[in-house]
């Protein structure tokens, strides 16, 4: 299992990456940040979780990105300085979901059996993250539906993502025995 230093490193790394992603929501920076987070994710898979965790890590990142894409299509989230591939959420947001996926089996692993708590934490802290991004000018949340959506999104997706990672961990453990 993971040791305490690794858990702390994973938690702090995600906080730094969150700020890096949100503050990179300016023309020309998204690609560099996405490449940096992609490299971080590859190192994470190589050194921490192992390559066998690639599929569930990518699956959870894609689930989150698709949920945000849905909100973007409904204009419940607007991205400042979004100039590339306007039909899709920006690269910095994809990078953020990729980085978040690296926490599910490390610093957030303790939540993998606590789905009611994950539901509540997601409903509260998910929207707060978007409000934080809005406060630094990375996004706009144009309506009350925006916060309602992100509360719903995080309340449902956080337990789902934790469950997926847990189930994959179980199946991987069975294969190794």
For the chain, the C-alpha Rg in angstroms (whole number) is 16
What's the whole-number mean pLDDT along residues 81-97? 85
List, for residues 56-69, the tens digit of each pLDDT value: 999 999 999 999 99
pLDDT at 141 over 70: yes
Antiparallel, parallel or unpaired: β 139-140 and 78-79: antiparallel
Instruction: Report the number of distinct structural domains present in the chain.
Output: 1
* Range from 23-27, 92-96, 125-129, 156-160 carrying the lowest mean pLDDT: 23-27
The pLDDT of residue 175 is 72
d(CA 68, CA 63): 9
What's the whole-number mean pLDDT along residues 115-144? 95
- When the pLDDT of each residue in the chain is averaged and rounded to a whole number, the result is 92
What is the three-state SS of the chain? CCCHHHHHHHHHHHHHHHHHHHHCCCCCCHHHHHHHHHHHHHHHHHHHHCHHHHHHHHHHHHHHHHHHHHHHHCCCCEECCCCCCCCCCCHHHHHHHHHHHCCCCCCCHHHCCCHHHHHHHHHHHHHHHHHHHHHCCCEECCCHHHHHHHHHHHHHHHHHHHHHHHHHHHHHHHHHC
Structural domain span for residue 147: 4-176
The pLDDT of residue 1 is 47
């Amino acid at each position: 299992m993971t040791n305490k230093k690794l858990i702390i490193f994973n938690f702090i790394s995600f906080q730094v990456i969150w700020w890096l992603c949100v503050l990179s929501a300016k023309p020309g920076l998204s690609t560099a940040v996405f490449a940096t987070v992609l490299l971080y994710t590859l190192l994470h898979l190589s050194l921490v979780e192992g390559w066998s965790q690639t599929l569930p890590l990518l699956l959870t990142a894609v689930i989150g990105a698709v949920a945000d894409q849905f909100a973007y299509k409904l204009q419940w989230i607007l991205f400042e300085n979004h100039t590339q591939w306007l039909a899709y959420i920006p690269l910095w947001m994809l990078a953020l979901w990729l980085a978040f996926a690296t926490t599910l089996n490390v610093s957030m692993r303790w939540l993998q059996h606590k789905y009611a708590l994950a539901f509540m934490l997601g409903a509260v802290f998910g929207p707060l993250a978007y409000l934080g991004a809005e406060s630094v000018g990375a996004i706009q949340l144009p309506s009350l539906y925006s916060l309602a959506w992100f509360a719903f999104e995080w309340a449902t997706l956080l337990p789902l993502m934790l469950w997926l990672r847990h189930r994959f961990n179980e199946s991987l453990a069975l294969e190794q025995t």
